[in-house]
Structure 1
Amino acid sequence: MKTETPTLAPDWDRIRADFPLLAREVHGKPLVYFDSANTGQKPAVVIEAVDAFYRRHNANVSRAVHALGAEATEAYEGTRARLAQHLNVAREDLVLTSGTTFALNLVAYSWALPRLQPGDVVLLTRMEHHANIVPWQLICERTGATIRVADLAPDGSLDLDALYALMAPDVKLLGIAHVSNVLGTVNPVAEICREARKRGIVTVVDGSQALPHMAVDIASIGCDFYAFTGHKMCGPTGTGALWARREHLLAMPPFLGGGEMIKEVRYEGTVFAEPPHRFEAGTPNIAGHVGLGTAVGYLDGIGMDAIAAREGDLLAHLTEEMDRVEGLRILGRAPRKAAVVSFLVEGAHAHDLATLLDLEGVAVRSGHHCAHPLMAFLGVPATCRASLAFYNTHAEIEAFIAALRKVRRLLG
């Protein structure tokens, strides 16, 4: 991982002050934002970077030769370079996208659709987000391939022996979450990708919930594709990227056609640009990606190892306190977890619980979390989810627990 490593211990109070929204009140109560798995909050430097782009540098990229066009292109491509350094990959192997969903659809339609055929299998896990399920369903419907699903152990971790047993010769692709957005489970993706590679299986890793929480070195993971989104890692919405092995990018046809992704267009045919630009048709979210580059720099300034340690400390405190709440059940206790806790309270529907917590100033998510199959596996219609970030505090955990106890008394 070729990122700057801070030498001083972070001042978490000062870092929290970097996030303007966290100072507001909700329903007359101090905001406790425990929904970072849904979207992360943005530090002032990111907000200012987006504002500065529109105020001083606004122009389209890779088109104009004037000063503003050159500045916009430099800033946009600077994000690609910064992400490449952050992830220990080559910048020319990073396709900038609107997020993980677009990235996974790009793999599905540009890599899988031309290759899968009847009798082939796409292997998924029970913990996948809909974005790593639905594209494969659509492709299987068109190609005659089928989906096979690997189940979980009772603690919410992957049953690795069962997963490897499902890696039969008919499996052509494995789609797997690096970190579960519901259970917080951190999957051993390097080991899993190594086993898949031995069997000739192409691996697609959904990294949406990993990049906000930990250092990710894609080169050491050994996957074929890695997708992630920017808005969960302190960047603007509508940003993200797909990393792919160079041989795949060179062999894949464009997903969308239009401007920017071409070398030459004639009515007789088109010569496409080299990857990654081949997959970046049209005007991108330039300002958003400028903000994402700033967000990555901000995270590197803190240090991802420091962030992981901070969130591990917060998660341990949160779990300990939640275990003391009568009638509360945590779903998912894998040995290695990110700071994501799904839970239920006896006698309370998840939506009612989240609504009443909101009145106490506490923001948690309720619902199926874009993971219907996992909810069915767990035998519940919905859960509440408290998801933390490094900008949260131990005092907020105490406030959350107090609100939980109050709401539980109200519900009865």
Structure 2
Amino acid sequence: MPNWELVRQDFSELRQTMNGERLAYLDNAATSLKPKSVIERLLSFYQQENANVHRGTYQLSFKATEEYEDARKVIQHFINAAAAREIIFTRGTTEGINLIASTYGEQNIEPGDEIVISLAEHHSNLIPWQQLALRKKATLKYINLTSTGEIDLADAKQKITAKTKIVAVTHVGNVLGNVSPIRKLAELAHQNGAIIVVDGAQAVCHLPVDVQELAADFYAFSGHKMLGPTGIGVLYGKQKLLEQMPPYQFGGEMIEDVQLDNSKWDQIPHKFEAGTPNIAGAIGLATAVKYLEQVGMAQVKARDAELMAYLLPKLMAIPGVKIYGSQNPQQHVGVVSFNLGTLHPHDVATALDMEGVAVRAGHHCAEPLVHSLGTNSTVRASLAFYNYQADCDQLINAIKETKEFFKGELR
């Protein structure tokens, strides 16, 4: 088991104070902190290796190209893709899903077809399909959730039919933290001739991910939620699907030949990476992946579970705190959403901020889900393996102090 004290020292941001209090950073679902190795790798690239990739005939460009393509291989092995060419670098999960909707979706969805998603989806895995369905006169269907916020497999079996062409679901929910039964949903999709798209943004920093074991056709995630830089993400796609899809954007790098009246596209993955890519971002993300692998994803998963098992019962023991989703800590992977009486979540989050606790309040880019919970917004605390039990205690104490401060307004 890693020495979590030493791990924590790799994240310099945790050594600062906020409003004069020790910082308890519990907004990891929005973005993770970055370890020293990632920051230093970005700095060294820009100081010593900065050059454009693929086209240069000089040593710096050769080196940058090698590092960039090696990063693709690091990601391939991290998620167990069959080949490096199945890894496309994007700006993040949002762009990855939009890429699929704008290429595979435009190419394959026809009037009367069905697209199936779940009620738990982040807007990034909802709006692209909603808008595609509107453009194509297709039907968008939602899989319902159980009383504890899990995807209802019985309902999924009813919603996924022979008319279904795309199933798009989150791997780990960003509001309730539930893990979706991706393999079972993939089997349902494939039995009906559909493909499955997985939003992995909240999963890759908490769980070991094997896209082949999951039987995912596409899997999208963001670097900044898994210790990497902002502005870099990954879209995994099965080779046979990517080869059939048209380009997402046009310009340099993605072409093999250009004539006055037509052009020929490059092979995958470069067909989908028009223009100068985020070279430093890809290299920084590979460094983040190596850091996670050094810690060990099994150990990361166990640490997250340990912290949630400590936090959730303490939250539930505070009178007036309403927990959304399951009361079982094992069904909250890194995330717990709650409200405090009738106080507005933004007021609660502001009060917690005064105690050095960083959480997020709002609908968390999942309005349909949050509305289904009977509220307009929640407070969300999200953990990472570098958090302490002391962070959980600081949150609990801050909630109690907030409750005491607003006791005249609580109902």
Out of 211, 216, 221, the position equivalent to 2:214 is 221
| Aligned partner of residue 271 in structure 1, secondary structure | strand
Give the structure 1 partner of residue 75 of structure 2: 83
- The CA deviation at 1:130 is 0.3
- The CA deviation at 1:74 is 1.1
- The CA deviation at 1:139 is 1.2
* Equivalence map 1:18-57=2 (5 Å): 18-57=10-49
- The CA deviation at 1:347 is 2.3
Tell me the amino acid that sits aligned with residue 150 of structure 1.
Answer: I
Distance in structure 2 (CA, Å) of the matches to 1:305 and 1:169: 38
- The CA deviation at 1:233 is 0.3
Tell me the amino acid that sits aligned with residue 190 of structure 1.
Answer: R
Tell me the amino acid that sits aligned with residue 281 of structure 1.
Answer: A
Out of 348, 370, 384, the position equivalent to 1:389 is 384
Q: Which moved more, 1:281-290 or 1:175-184?
A: 281-290
CA offsets 1:71-114 (integer angstroms, 9 cap, x no match) = 11111111100000111111111111111000001100110112
- The CA deviation at 1:218 is 0.5
Q: Contact 1:364/1:387 (CA < 8 Å) preserved in 2?
A: yes
| Aligned partner of residue 114 in structure 1, secondary structure | helix
Give the structure 2 partner of residue 249 of structure 1: 242
- The CA deviation at 1:337 is 2.9
Distance in structure 2 (CA, Å) of the matches to 1:337 and 1:32: 19
Out of 252, 260, 283, the position equivalent to 2:253 is 260
Give the structure 1 partner of residue 363 of structure 2: 368
Tell me the amino acid that sits aligned with residue 385 of structure 1.
Answer: R
Tell me the amino acid that sits aligned with residue 376 of structure 1.
Answer: H
Distance in structure 1 (CA, Å) of the matches to 2:184 and 2:246: 30
Give the structure 2 partner of residue 322 of structure 1: 315
CA offsets 1:237-284 (integer angstroms, 9 cap, x no match) = 011111111111110000100000011111121111001100000011
Does 2:109 match 1:116? yes
Distance in structure 1 (CA, Å) of the matches to 2:281 and 2:370: 33
Distance in structure 2 (CA, Å) of the matches to 1:228 and 1:168: 27
Does 2:289 match 1:296? yes
For normalisation by structure 2, the TM-score amounts to: 0.97
Number of residue equivalences: 404
Give the structure 1 partner of residue 2 of structure 2: 10
- The CA deviation at 1:201 is 1.4
Q: Contact 1:341/1:385 (CA < 8 Å) preserved in 2?
A: yes
| Aligned partner of residue 259 in structure 1, secondary structure | coil
Tell me the amino acid that sits aligned with residue 187 of structure 1.
Answer: S
Q: Which moved more, 1:36-45 or 1:150-159?
A: 150-159
Distance in structure 2 (CA, Å) of the matches to 1:385 and 1:63: 46
* Equivalence map 1:331-346=2 (5 Å): 331-333=324-326, 336-346=331-341
Distance in structure 2 (CA, Å) of the matches to 1:355 and 1:276: 44
Tell me the amino acid that sits aligned with residue 19 of structure 1.
Answer: F
Out of 154, 162, 168, the position equivalent to 2:155 is 162
Does 2:132 match 1:139? yes
- The CA deviation at 1:336 is 3.1
Q: Which moved more, 1:70-79 or 1:271-280?
A: 70-79
- The CA deviation at 1:339 is 1.4
- The CA deviation at 1:388 is 0.2
| Aligned partner of residue 157 in structure 1, secondary structure | coil
Tell me the amino acid that sits aligned with residue 205 of structure 2.
Answer: P
| Aligned partner of residue 213 in structure 1, secondary structure | coil
Q: Which moved more, 1:187-196 or 1:170-179?
A: 187-196
For normalisation by structure 1, the TM-score amounts to: 0.97
Q: Contact 1:40/1:233 (CA < 8 Å) preserved in 2?
A: yes
Q: Which moved more, 1:168-177 or 1:362-371?
A: 168-177
Does 2:399 match 1:404? yes
Moved >2 Å (runs of 4+): 334-337
Distance in structure 2 (CA, Å) of the matches to 1:249 and 1:158: 28
Unpaired runs of 5+ in structure 1?
A: 1-8
Out of 322, 342, 345, the position equivalent to 1:347 is 342
CA offsets 1:288-316 (integer angstroms, 9 cap, x no match) = 11110000000000000000000100000
Of all paired residues, the percent bearing the same amino acid is: 42
Distance in structure 2 (CA, Å) of the matches to 1:391 and 1:314: 10
- The CA deviation at 1:338 is 0.6
Distance in structure 1 (CA, Å) of the matches to 2:195 and 2:181: 16
Distance in structure 2 (CA, Å) of the matches to 1:398 and 1:336: 21
Distance in structure 1 (CA, Å) of the matches to 2:377 and 2:263: 49
Out of 190, 194, 197, the position equivalent to 2:187 is 194
Tell me the amino acid that sits aligned with residue 71 of structure 1.
Answer: K
CA offsets 1:129-187 (integer angstroms, 9 cap, x no match) = 00001111221122111201111111111111011111121111101000000000001
Distance in structure 1 (CA, Å) of the matches to 2:350 and 2:198: 33
- The CA deviation at 1:65 is 1.4
Aligned CA RMSD, in angstroms, stands at 0.9
Give the structure 2 partner of residue 5 of structure 1: none
Tell me the amino acid that sits aligned with residue 144 of structure 1.
Answer: K
Q: Contact 1:347/1:411 (CA < 8 Å) preserved in 2?
A: no
Distance in structure 1 (CA, Å) of the matches to 2:402 and 2:331: 30
